[in-house]
Every structure is written in C-alpha cells, then in structure tokens.
Amino acid sequence: MEPVAVVGVGMTQVKRERKADGYPDLVFDATRAALDDAGMSIDQIDNVVTISNDFFDGRTISSMAIMDACGSYDKNVTTVEGDGTFGAFFGVMRVLSGSYGTTLVCAHHKGSESQMPLITNAMFDPIFARSLGIDAVTSSALQARAYMAKYGITEEQCAMVSVKNHGNAFKNPIAQLPLELTVEKVMSSPYIADPIKLLDCCPISDGASAVILASEERAKKITDKPVWVKGVAHCSSAYQLGDRNLYCVCALEEAAKKAYAMAGVSEPARDIDLAEVYDAFSYMEPLWLEGLGICERGEGGKLTESGRTALDGELPVNASGGCLSGNPVLVAGLNRIIECALQIRGDAGEHQAERVKTAVAHGINGPCGQSHCVWVLGGEK
C-alpha cells in the first residue's frame, strides 16, 4: 500500500446530552478542530467522506443535514453508513486512487435524540428476530454468556475491564464518564441483561469527530508529525446469531490477519504498543483482543487480570477510557483511530502511554461485532 497519513484530528467532548447543538453543530466543531490541528483551511481539502446512520439520526439521507457543516460545498462528497473505522477506510481509498491528495472524514452521533433499543432492534431480521425484542444489549448478553461458558471467562474479569477503562477516562478530557470503580462496585451494579450489568455498559452519548487523511506528498507539506496508515482491512461474518459461534470472532481474526500482513506485523503481542478497541460492553475488550491475536483464544480474561493492558502496562488497551467511558456510535471507531494517532504523536496528554510506535484501532458494525475493521497505525512508514 502506498503511504497515507493521518495529518489532522478533531474530537468534540463526548457528553450525555448536547441539547443546544444539532448534529450539524457537532460536525462543524469537529471539522473545525481537525482543520486547526492540521493547520489547514477547508480549501485545502480535496474531498469529503461523511459517516451517518439514518436510524440514529431519525432522518432519511441524514448526511444531507451536515453537508454545509463539514465544508463539503463544491467538493466531491459521499456518505458511508457504519462505524467510523469503515468510513475512514473509504477515505484512505479515495487518496490511494490518485484522484485526491487530502480527504476529510467526519462522523456524528446524538444518542440523546435516539431510541437505542428500537434502533438497534432494527438491525435484526424483521421476521424471525425483531419481534423477540432483541437489541444491542440483549444480543451482546448472549455473546458474553457464550464467551464465558466456552472459556471460563468470569464476570469479575469483565468487571476489571470496566474498572480500568473508567479509571483511564479521568485522564482524558473528552471522556464522558470517568468513574472511580472497584470490581465489587461493578459486580453489585444491577443486571441489565444477564451477565451484563449496568457498569459493564457504555453510556448513551453525543459527539462528533473528524480526521484528515493525506497522500505522502501532501502529508509532508502539512505536518512534521504524520501518523501513517500501515495496514487496514475489514471483514464480515454471518448475520444470524445462530449461524455463528459468538465466542469465536473469526471475522476479526481475518481482518486482523490482512491488516497485519499489510503492516508487516508478524507477532501482534510484540509488535503492537497500544490498542484502542470497540469496548461497548466490558466483555468485548478481552474478546476482541483475542480476535486481534494479542492473546490466544480464551486467554483474554487472564490478559486483563495480568495488568498488561493497563495504562502503565506493556500493551495499554483503551488508554482513552474506551467506549465504556463515552460511546457516540459511529464516531466511536473514528475516535479509536484518533486516540491511536494522538498516542503515536505523543499528544495524548495525561493518558499518554510510553513508547507508542505502532498502535491498533478497531471498530465494529452489526450485532455482536458481525463486521470488524482493523487499523494499524505507526509513526514511521
């Protein structure tokens, strides 16, 4: 793959409710922040990719509403529906095509104006599954249970993820929900859908973010701290939950394999310095780390217990506080990429980890992580 760099990043604060702002306002703030970060004007942006979802926005063709806000007037612009990691991948393709030197990618989400159970229920088969009332939380509970039953992962191990990530969030000024937790506190929080408890869940959030991608030639002119996209790939598994072994994340394994091959990562546990994964529920972090090959299948719980994934551990995971500390859906994946970029640049402030040369960002689409997108980012080409 020819070199493509992240040259500018912008995130709004993630909050429970941004009542005074419509989503174009959020998008404007994020776009403005990314342009400022890159020291660019909107005229230097060659094309735009927006990330939207009509169900969450309550509008058909919801990207229409942000066309002004993201500065796409008289530019080639398109809309990916799905997580930010997927939209940003399309942005990379637009640069690699040779047609554009720079791509602005922006995502928005207002959970405060969404009906999460109804909207996530609409992911499921309208005839066979929807009438059961299944949604993101209950389907994830099935996956958590399957994962625990298969490998002996414990609720306490999952609770440790929640303790760690909410603790990291204290150091991240954009995080919505820094919490001083203990395993006992998580364990004694009420069950939302067994085995998932309240403090195992991400919150509902409002937020937006934007990333500017550039070709090697343009990147050199824009910044002296480019973050290079070393490898990126995505993959989908089966739709019906019953067609999958929910504890086996084969699509993530496949996506990671391809991304690592592009990036020249042969031993992920050794070659990767930091990971930002899509931890909408606490059990997801160890499960995705298995899929990413950072540990063996079934070893995710022990990995968390070992402390290696802590901010001061050998391989910090969700140093930002992760989705558990603020989850504007669709934006969440883009934020994972941005957090990795900041860590590689050494600009992560208080949640900066030591020696981050290579980082992995991860996003998901569909129920129980049906589809996964994996990014390997690095400070050197």
Partner 1 sequence: MGKRVAVTAVGMTRQRSARPDVSGQELIGEAVRMALDDAGMTRKDIDAIVIGNMDHFEGINYVDTWSVDGSGALMKPIMKLTTGGTTGTTIAMAAYYHVASGLFDRVLAIGWEKNSESDTTGAIITAFDPFWDRPIFAGAVAGLAMEATAYMKETGATEEDAAYVAVRERTHALNNPYAHLHLNMTIADVMNSPYLSWPVKMGDMCPRTDGACALIFASEDVADGFPRKPAWIHGVADRHLWAYTSDPYLDFKTGEAWFPAMQKSSQDVYRRVGITDPLEQFDVAELYLPYSFAGLRYMESLGFCEKGGAPALTRAGTFDMGGKCPVNPSGGVMSSNAIGATGLIRVAECAWQIQGRAGDRQVPDVELALATGFGGCFWSDVLVLGKEKPEKARG
Quote the least distance from Cβ 67 to partner 1, whole Å.
5
Which residue, 82 or 379, is less far from partner 1 as judged by CB? 82
Q: Which of 22, 23, 71 is nearest to 48 (CA)?
A: 71
Contact 32, 59 (CB under 8 A): no
**Helix count and strand count (H, E) for the chain:** 13, 11
Interface residues toward partner 1, by CB under 8 A: 1-2, 24, 52-55, 58-68, 72-82, 86, 89-90, 92-94, 96-100, 119-120, 122-123, 125-127, 233-239, 250-251, 254-255, 365-367, 370-371
Nearer to partner 1, 70 or 272 (CB): 70
CB of 76 to partner 1, least distance (A): 6
CB of 34 to partner 1, least distance (A): 20
Q: How many beta carbons lie within 10 A of that of residue 267, not counting itself?
A: 10
Q: Which is nearer to partner 1, 211 or 255 (CB)?
A: 255
**Token pair recorded at residue 154:** 């414990």
Residue 17 or 36: the one with the smaller Cβ distance to partner 1 is 17
- Write down the least CB distance from residue 372 to partner 1, Å: 10
Angle between helices 250-263 and 284-291 (to 10 degrees): 50
Using alpha carbons, list the distances in angstroms from residue 249 to 133, 164, 372. 24, 23, 9
Comparing CB distances to partner 1, the nearer of 69 and 315 is 69
Comparing CB distances to partner 1, the nearer of 14 and 241 is: 241
- Our CB check for partner 1 shows the closer of 172 and 365 to be 365
Residue 269: CB minimum distance to partner 1, A: 24
Quote the distance between the C-alpha of residue 222 and its chain's center: 25
Sequence-ordered list of residues with C-beta below 8 angstroms from that of 74, at least 6 positions apart, any chain: none
Cα separation values, 8 from 224, 229, 331, Å: 11, 13, 16
Task: Name the minimum Å distance from CB 275 to partner 1.
Answer: 21
Minimum distance from residue 138 beta carbon to partner 1 (Å): 15
By beta-carbon proximity to partner 1, the closer residue of 76 and 182 is 76
The SS3 of residue 359 is strand
**In Å, what is the CA distance from 77 to each residue of 43, 47, 70, 306, 316?**
14, 6, 10, 46, 36
CB 334 to partner 1: min, Å:
15
Provide the phi-psi class of 252: left if phi over 0, else alpha when psi is between -120 and 50, else beta. Answer: alpha
Beta-carbon-side half-sphere exposure of residue 258 (alpha carbons within 13 Å): 14
SS3 at position 280: coil
